[in-house]
Amino acid sequence: MDPDVLATLPDQVFHEGFAEVIKHAAIRDAGMLEKIEAMDPDDRKVDPDLIADNLAIKARIVEEDERETSGTRALLNFGHTIGHAIEATAEYGTLLHGEAISLGVRAALYLSEKKADLSQEETARLLAIHRQWHLPLLLDLDISTEVVMDALARDKKFTSGRIRFVLLKRLGEAFVSDEITREDIIEAIEHVRTPI
Ligand SMILES: [Zn+2]
């Protein structure tokens, strides 16, 4: 890993990459969020320890569930179920991966408040970090929820109207819920269309 490479990236690419950095902290290490909050996104100096610690979160989760049997690995999908569907639906080049994931995280936070008692304060804090990193939080593209749902259903299976979906109990503590329905997902996508 060469942190100097970061200095060569266009702003938008540097910022979208942080969507995954923020995601790793959000699912496993709330303390790391403080370090991300303390950073200046317009400064390309990234602490190599942050990079190492952040990657270690992903490595540990993959190690814990090498064969994808326990479901732990699914935690890495936080923000990705809806995010991927939006990314797949948006016209090519409209949204970078991390930007689509930022929208997916907002949807997942909405469902975490609704189904897992995540506090409004914690949601607001994680959204603020995305805003700090210039990541979009408003779905204002001309794409219908129905088409996003079609893309989502191609990606993930609904079993008796329910889908496995990663929620946060609190910042740093993610889990896989089997309680999320098609209607919940539609509601969450509609939520991301409302300005904040
Ligand atoms: Zn991703």
Fold of 3-192: Dehydroquinate synthase-like, alpha domain (1.20.1090)
Rounded CA-CA distance 114/39 in Å is 30
Q: Domain ranges in the chain?
A: 3-192
Three-state DSSP state, 141: coil
pLDDT band at 13 (very low <50, low <70, confident <90, very high): very high
pLDDT at 151: 96
Say how many Å lie between the CA of residue 21 and the centre of ligand 1. Answer: 10
Nearest to 143 by CA among 189, 112, 97, 105: 189
72 touches 65 (CB < 8 A): yes
Tell me which H or E stretch contains 170. Answer: strand 162-170
Residues 6+ apart with CB under 8 A from 63: none
- Bridge partners (DSSP) listed for residue 168: 174
Say how many Å lie between the CA of residue 139 and the centre of ligand 1. Answer: 18
Say how many Å lie between the CA of residue 88 and the centre of ligand 1. Answer: 13
Say how many Å lie between the CA of residue 162 and the centre of ligand 1. Answer: 23
Say how many Å lie between the CA of residue 96 and the centre of ligand 1. Answer: 10
Say how many Å lie between the CA of residue 20 and the centre of ligand 1. Answer: 6
What would the mean pLDDT of 158-164 be, rounded to a whole number? 92
Each residue's pLDDT tens digit, 99-128: 999 999 999 999 999 999 999 999 999 999
What secondary structure letter does DSSP report for 72? G
Rounded CA-CA distance 57/96 in Å is 23
Nearest to 118 by CA among 164, 177, 55, 193: 177
Say how many Å lie between the CA of residue 8 and the centre of ligand 1. Answer: 21
